[in-house]
Structure 1
Amino acid sequence: MDNHLTLLAGTPETRATLHQQLDEIFGEFIKIDSYSVDESLPDLIEKDLIIFSSHLIEQEAAHVIGERCTSITARRTINYQHIDRLFELRDNTTVLCVNDTPEMTIETIDTLEKIGMNHLNYKPYNGRSSSEEIDTAITPGEVPFIPKRIGKVVDIGVRLIDITTLIEILDHFQLKRKLGGIISSRYTSKIIELSKKISEMNQQTQTLNEHLKQVVDGVNDGIMAIDVVGKVTVFNPFMEEYTGLSASHAIGKTLPQLFKQHDLLQFLSQPQEEGRYFTINTYNVMVYRFDWEGSDSVLLIFKNTDETITMERAARKQLTKTGYIAKYHFQDIIGESEALEKTKEIAKKLARSELPVLIQGESGTGKELFASAIHNHSGQRLDPFLAVNCSALPEELLESELFGYEEGSFTGAKRGGKKGIFEQADGGTIFLDEIGDISLKLQARLLRVIQEMEIRKIGGNKNIPIQVRVIAATNKDLLRLIEEGKFREDLYHRLKVLFLQIPSLRKRKADVPRLVHQFLIENGCPDHKISPSLMNTLKDYEWYGNIRELKNTISYLITVGEGTVITERDLPNDGFFQSNLSYEADAQLSMLDQQKFIHVLAIILELNESYVSASRSKISERSQQSDFPLSVQQIRKTIKDLEEHEYVKVKRGRGGTEITEQGRSFLKY
């Protein structure tokens, strides 16, 4: 094949996408090679037609182009294979448009508007935080450049080479007359594929709407939806029963046309944080109002409280009989400090899911309280909650407690065998406290249970399917245990699907007075007073034993104190308090390492804020201009150390290295 073309692109993803496009259109007539700047380039290209993916690549790859080559800088258009993703966004949504350079970002927006994608408001991202609260970003394959704060990312795929550049390629090889019609047909066929895809999506949407209607009609609650202009769009059979109105009459009407109760009408018409109790046509209902996420509609739910109370009482009664009930709720976790409130807010969000949670925190911070509260705030709150302290039992006993055993499986086994905790918790939650203390053998069994959601009793020969949410907790550094070969990495990732870090009391000292007051009540001394100077001492102390140590201290003060006012003279001596042995044992960074970290982090921050990829070579280049020059190899080692301290995050491809919030804090400090 005499005709030869070489494609030069920036990233491997761009190279692969554009190579595939050119091969699908010209593959029978033109031999195609391709390279990416981020991988490697040949030493020299001679004679070929060179296709640059952009002007930027034209500059970066100029040194490998021979004098006898002809080059074309491709004009690019939106990837028609993924353009349908933009139709999923509502009209007039403001979106952040992100590409690898500001110039390419503007070009992307211009292309989108020219092809008629005008239902969105595009804001170009220039590498700095936008003052607007934008939650959605679109990008043509440059996901690493999107800011972390963005909640929704729509990747419309690497931009393709447009038809005008394809015609230029035909002209170069003098194939336009011979192949122009064929190439045009192939290009058009891709557009037809997109139309077919959108048509199939519409059919699927229609089918889904029919299924949703069946689901809404089958729910045991009254459900009503109001659109953006205030008209009813959904009115299920239970709403008909509660209100005495037919769906055909209600749909299309406004709330004032349907309801005359002033308090109910006022509640339904305004945003609400909590539900409210009403009586409608002799029905006692709890009414909830939600903004329908992803639309401008409002969802109203009417729940029959008489039925709900009856069901909940029966469930609670059964759970109380067995003792498998979570004791604590979020309101039982005392404190109003910013650190604690943020932790409770995150925990409430985690409770909505059924995924495993790993809770990390020092001893005495209240990990079991949070596990119990998460269960009581979840959809499984009426189901069993079983807790086991993995460090409190020998390995053999813990194994039989977790998985159960068959009759006669070992000496002392009960007649008839025994159900394990996993089996007893079926449908609910199991809390594995001190998970870092179990043996590698038990870790392997636990991993299989979480993976397969089935258990096999000791001495058994059949698998028993279960459905259990696992919440694990530890005060140990599991990553360090993994490095030491004491904890399985695969189990760690199975447990840490969701994660909650419990703040130590040192990070929430503002909560000390409230905790002290609570412990006085629990000790039966609500009228006792703590002197102001003693309270200040308690607030200033580091509390390495956390809340448990504070509680013990208050019990001691009440016991040894005389009268109802407790003062500093009642404090125990220093030997009573826990020292921070683990903290003192941690190796501190040397002064040289600190200087190196600060220097490299400052360069990375500067590059990040300048919207320049923070590659190792670029960081090394900047360092040469300072009093602390570092080679690329030294930069590689330093970045690895920074990543271990979670000061930076290394992205794939051209995204480079990005400083984390923890890194910013270290640099600021």
Structure 2
Amino acid sequence: MDKRLIIIGIQEENLVFITEQIKHIIGEFIKIKSITIKDLHYGTIGPHDVVLLSGDVLRELVQPFLSPSCTCMIAKREVNVVNLEEMMKLPAGQHILVVNDHSTDTIETVFSLEQILGEHTYYPYVPNQPLPEIIDYVVTPGEKHLVPKAFRTIIDIGPRVISFETLEDILHHFDLDVSHSVLMNKYIKALVLVSKKSAKSTPVPFEDQNQDRTFAHFVTNSPIMKETVDIARKIASTLLPIHIEGETGVGKKLMAEAIHNESPFQNGLFFTYNCAGKVEELLAVELFGKDEEGKSMQGIVEAANGGTLFLKNLEYLSYDLQGKLLQVLEAKEIQRVNGEATIPVHLRLITSTSLRLSELLEAGKIRTELYSYISPYMIRMPTLQERTADLEALIEMFKMQFQKKELTFSPEVMEVFYKYSWPGNVRELFNVVSYCACTQASLIELKSLPLYFRGHDALEQQQDRDLDEKTIIATIEGHGFLNESIGILEIFKAGKEQHVAYGRTKLIKLLSAKGIHLTDQQLRLRLDILKQLNLLNVRQGRAGTTISVKGEQFLHKVLSSAEKS
């Protein structure tokens, strides 16, 4: 096997981004393959490959899959200067809060910004820690969903990119002699391309993606999942096309691969192709090939002959391209773009959509003729919320995969996991467990969960109902404004008794009369914390914000304790 660059990351979206950047720069010189931790298995990495990890936290997880002769590098990341135009227009001396998904990444982002735009003061955002008194702007590299809700002035500078230094290190490991100027030109061009999210893509390399996974790889105690696997096992033995419905992250690819490996096509190749995010011309050429000026390019459908082709996001194919798929299903042949001759093909076609096929048909996104071919043999993948009986078994499987048997999740964390809706399904659970596996902790408590885990908010809302006085005080004091919060609650209580609601402008004046002087942004921050603690009720329209029953009880306890002391 030729020497390759293997790029490994946890989150698929981030991995796709940095892989695209690297391919734009050195894709013509070396073979590049990207893979998420969840798809990593023994044999994926060759003994002579160069492995590039998206972060140092992955080193321990990846180590068991590396041979002694394999080179492993940690990618250095920096902000994309192409996306800093808005920041460059700011007056000097701004106070800027920097928000990222991990404390180490946040510090690195602050350092990069200080090197490029050193005329401002930067503060790394640390959850549950007091915020600086003055914040003019919040800057985040593509993580707007993590910014505290109280802030309204947010500058998104886009995902961080691979540093120029890392690119030079990669070339060194491949013994490639590329001049500094040529590499720099390619690097700058790539920054522009990824910042604009160019629709133009490089051709998809065709290679067998079979990891030899079968129905036995489905870990389940759930009746609905067991029934789904049983149905899939029965129809796998046929030669007919199969369609898989299911939300993002439910395991559609694993199901397609299991079908392939227990089907008459198991001796052929298995290949996954994503139809989303590509222009029609590129889809046509990649799927069906092209004849041009005496040269022929084989498409993926033709290359998958004798095996299984799994088409993800079928609804992104135009009616014309869906018609070409019909030709594969009806006549078992294809015609290349610009080609005249037909080419016979015999393969198992598995398609998938995130929405129900019947809904896509009604919306006019699926041809009626194609629907009639793929709808008879359909599999619906249940969501993780529908199979919560599998939560603990899935966690144990992921721990085994990471060789982290000692990792333990506290009862409080498991309670949150069971109550959480898991919109990202099994993939989201995997991301959370993989993050925890990268930490040094053997016991995962609530504070150990990753910042991006949205279930954390669900947990806080549940626990807020049972918070005692000391816990509430400790939470508010952690942000450094207990007395101001009490003053705010007193004003809202008085307003409630008089059936009066206050906006922020009026509230600032009333607080000032109490000797508490706050800016609008400072007030937003304090109100946001009080709302998170369920001490305030937030209503739309003129009803405005009022003190809650819990807020009144808390205020009464605090004031009573102060009088006694």
Q: TM-score, normalised by structure 2?
A: 0.42
Greater RCO between the two (CA within 8 Å, min separation 6)?
A: 2
Between structure 1 and structure 2, the one with the greater Rg is: 1
